[in-house]
Chains A and B, each alone.
Chain A
């Protein structure tokens, strides 16, 4: 058995273009700890083990990865970095600039990642022209979920513009249904905000305002309208929304207490776990407007000592992007594979819409990174924007004041 494992590893190592002949080891820091997520990662661990690797699990949940990032900083400063870390967006490049990431270009090139990943997603995985991270999945953020029965009972179609949405919401409110299920946590406010910004302003505005941080776009009339719409949405939310977890908001849609929820596609997992069928019990559609906001989870490899660890990193990177894991993992997680050549037969209707839209927006240049989920901006800028968005949504601040504060906060965040 051991000999067999050894043989497999050496073959792999050769395939990966490395001459290292050591038993792959990996300590993996991640924050996927809940039942469904943990099962998804377990798939990776099994594949890793069946290829002769030893996986040491280092899970740290909480705050969408905040606690894990605290642990990561301490580990890096102690000179004791984990082998592989769940890391995403510009944070990858930030860590690269600190000189602590390992280069996995030989795996990426041997596996031909550049040919199977959409260009904008591949861009996130590269640091100064070398490959430094491996993508796991693509979550779409700008989803709107609806209770099919509630919509049918009130004669409402899935809205395709924000005006239609507002009209539908008024109708629902008059009928005694909460139009929008929402959890008042800063990241959820930001999730709705970016969907509105993309829908009202269009992909170009989104790019300028929330990716390039162009001061003109930040203070433009369009941005005022975005905040106006946020204020309107505030009126469609029930009064106990503060601090509510997103899954409780999803439950409100499920049991017909509320009609819509704006949330990334992990919400689908909640619906499925409750035995609901997409297209029948609940509906999924992109939020009104063009474009596609993505949130790509990925693993970055840290600079570590020892051939066994390096072999572990290469094996891990290879397995993560391989079609088998991409399919199994994403079926569990509710997202879609990052690589475009995975057959989607086993996926549900929402995932198929997501994959199709990713293809078309990627070609049309409107496949954009989510700011609310740390894909578009560095931590301090994204945080500064979220502060303003959540302060506006949870008070009676005027849109004009919000726009001014937004520009100030961004300027003050560098």
Chain B
């Protein structure tokens, strides 16, 4: 008996977590899929009525805006946060005198939730209160920065705040990567007379490929879950110009009492997640199995 236990202990230890994930992630996804086929309103109902919720979803101009925003926001946020994070990491890696303090300044936004910083951002980005009026006050009356109140540009202010929140974390990931690159190789390259920028582009950055992947996953997960950010900064406005799928779903489920519709939008969101994450998991685990 105890020998059986000893042999199977790894599985026994993993089992509770695995069962919990099966129920609380996959069970709930299944539940959502089921509800998305019903006409649930205020509370979930379980009588299947077909794909009507998906038809409604695709007929909704607001959902189109939300999905388009996810593409714009997701692409810009991930790319800029990565580039900025890498740049900051490289700058910080030049034997900076007060590295600890600067690093903390770059990193701290990750510690605060957007409920906390949302109002401050709203003021800073508001043309009448923040940057625009400040710069105009310095004697540049033609300076304009009105993205927050412009339906065509408001989504970019969400990107600015999101990058503010997460790029420090990406910087930390890359900094850790830079610190673990083999110093001998770099010394050798320097002795060979290879210019600094070439050392970065040809040796250091390629060796950090796994970190790019990790950063991408963390950022993609933040992009898809972005919710507090929009609520705190624009509330989805002007109009619904800055709606994202997560805010759309929340509005349907909890302020509109349209749970079936919310479930169908959640399923589409899950599909997007699936399309991004599964290739990552596949490559990740195949590499490790070798």
Asked whether any CB of A lies within 8 Å of a CB of B in the complex, the reply is yes
Chain A residues engaging chain B, CB cutoff 8 angstroms: 63, 66, 69-70, 73, 76-77, 91, 94-95, 97-98, 184-186, 238-244, 378-380, 382-383, 387, 390-395, 405, 408-409, 412-413
> A394 contacts B256, CB within 8 Å?
no
Q: Is the CB of A383 within 8 A of B126?
A: no
Question: Which residues on the B side are within 8 Å of A94 (C-beta)?
Answer: 41-42, 257
- Are B41 and A186 in contact, CB atoms less than 8 angstroms apart? no
What are 13 A-B interface contacts by the 8 Å CB criterion?
Answer: A63-B255, A70-B253, A238-B128, A239-B149, A242-B148, A242-B237, A242-B238, A243-B126, A243-B149, A243-B234, A380-B257, A391-B240, A394-B239
Establish whether residues B236 and A186, one from each chain, have CB atoms under 8 Å apart when the complex forms.
yes
Indicate whether A240 sits within 8 Å of B257 (C-beta atoms), given known contacts A94-B41, A186-B239, A395-B239.
no
What residues of A have a CB within 8 angstroms of the CB of B231 in the complex? Answer: 63
What's the least CB distance linking B246 to chain A, in Å?
14
Q: With a CB–CB cut-off of 8 A, which chain A residues contact B239?
A: 186, 390-395
Once bound together, how far apart are the Cα atoms of A94 and B154, in whole Å? 35
Contacts of A412 in B (CB 8 A): 56, 59-60
Tell me whether A394 and B237 are in contact (CB under 8 A).
yes
CB of B254 within 8 A of CB of A186, answer: no
B237 touches A95 (CB 8 A): no
Shortest Cβ distance from residue B13 to the other chain A in the assembled complex, whole angstroms: 30
**Residues of the A chain whose Cβ atoms lie less than 8 Å from the Cβ of B61:** 387, 391, 405
- B43 and A76 form a contact (CB under 8 A): yes
Chain A residues whose CB sits within 8 angstroms of the CB of B148 once the complex forms? 242-243
Cβ–Cβ contact A66 & B240, under 8 A: no
Distance of A60 from chain B, by nearest CB (Å):
12
A243 & B122 in contact (Cβ 8 Å cutoff): yes
Q: How far does the Cβ of A177 sit from chain B's closest Cβ, in whole Å?
A: 16
Bound state CA distance, A69 and B41, in angstroms? Answer: 13
Query: Would you call A242 and B154 a contact (CB within 8 A)?
Result: yes
A390 near B122 with CB under 8 A, answer no
Determine the chain B residues whose CB is within 8 A of the CB of A184 once the complex forms.
149, 237-238
Residues of A within 8 Å of B60, CB to CB, are: 409, 412
**What 0/1 pattern do residues 43 to 72 of B give for CB contact below 8 A with A?**
110000000000010011110000000000
Tell me whether A240 and B251 are in contact (CB under 8 A): no
Query: Would you list the 4 A-B pairs with minimal beta carbon distance, nearest first?
Result: A394-B239, A242-B149, A240-B128, A394-B238
Instruction: Report whether A390 and B234 are in contact in the complex, using a CB–CB cutoff of 8 Å.
Output: no
Which of A91, A244, A380, A382 neighbours the largest number of chain B CB atoms within 10 Å of its CB? Answer: A380
Known: A98-B43, A394-B151. A185 touches B256 (CB 8 A): no
Closest to A68 in B: B254
* Residues on the B chain within 8 Å of A408, using CB: 59
Contacts of A244 in B (CB 8 A): 126
Tell me the minimal C-beta distance from B217 to chain A in angstroms: 28
B127 on the interface (CB 8 Å rule)? yes
Contact indicator per residue, chain B 95-126, by CB within 8 Å of chain A (1) or not (0): 00000000000000000000000000010001
Q: Which of A185, A238, A241, A378 contacts B257 (CB 8 A)?
A: A378
Chain B residues, CB < 8 A from A98: 42-43
CB distance from A285 to the nearest CB of B (A): 28
CB distance from A239 to the nearest CB of B (A): 7
| Separation of A117 and B59 alpha carbons in the complex (Å) | 42
With A94-B42, A98-B43, A395-B151 already in contact, the answer to whether A239 and B127 are too (CB < 8 A) is yes
Bound complex: CA A239 to CA B62 (Å): 24
Complex Cα spacing A394 to B257, Å? 25
Contact B41 A387 (CB under 8 A): no
- Chain B residues near A186 (CB, 8 Å)? 235-237, 239-240
Closest chain-A Cβ to B188's Cβ sits at a distance in Å of: 56
- How far does the alpha carbon of A244 sit from the alpha carbon of B151 in the complex, in Å? 14
A97→B257 CA distance, assembly (Å): 13
Q: Is the CB of A383 within 8 A of B154?
A: no
The distance in angstroms between the C-alpha atoms of A155 and B146, with both chains bound, is: 34
Q: Tell yes or no: B172 within 8 A of A by CB.
A: no
B244 shortest CB reach to chain A, Å: 15
Given contacts A243-B148, A394-B239, A405-B61, contact A70 B254 (CB under 8 A): yes
Q: Which residues of A contact B254 (CB under 8 A)?
A: 66, 69-70, 73
Determine if B240 and A380 form an interchain contact, defined as CB atoms under 8 angstroms apart: no
Whether B261 and A380, one on each chain, are in contact in the complex, defined by CB atoms closer than 8 angstroms, is: yes
Interface: B241 (CB within 8 A): yes
What B residues does A91 contact at CB under 8 A?
Answer: 257
Name the residue on B nearest A391 (C-beta): B239
Contact A77-B43, Cβ < 8 Å, known A184-B149, A240-B149, A395-B239: yes
The residues in B between 143 and 161 inclusive whose CB is less than 8 angstroms from any CB of A are 146, 148-151, 154
Q: How far is the CA of A242 from the CA of B126 in the complex (A)?
A: 9
Taking CB atoms, residues of chain B closer than 8 Å to A243 are: 122, 126, 148-149, 233-235, 237-238
Nearest A residue to B257 by beta-carbon distance?
Answer: A379
Which partner residue on chain B sits nearest A186 by CB separation?
A: B237
CA distance A251 to B79 in the complex (A): 41
Q: Within the assembled complex, what's the spacing in Å between the Cα atoms of A73 and B251?
A: 14
Question: What's the least CB distance linking A379 to chain B, in Å?
Answer: 4
Between B151, B231, B239, B252, the greatest number of chain A beta carbons within 10 A of the residue's beta carbon is seen for B239
Our pick among A77, A97, A390 for the contact of B237 (Cβ within 8 Å) is A390
Residues on the A chain within 8 Å of B258, using CB: 379-380, 383, 413
* Interchain CA distance A184-B238 in the complex, whole Å: 7
Expressed in whole angstroms, the minimum distance between the Cβ of A338 and any Cβ of chain B is 24
Please judge, given known A-B contacts A380-B256, A394-B151, A395-B151, whether A387 and B62 are in contact too, CB under 8 Å.
yes
State whether B240 touches A387 (Cβ < 8 A): yes
Are A394 and B241 in contact, CB atoms less than 8 angstroms apart? yes
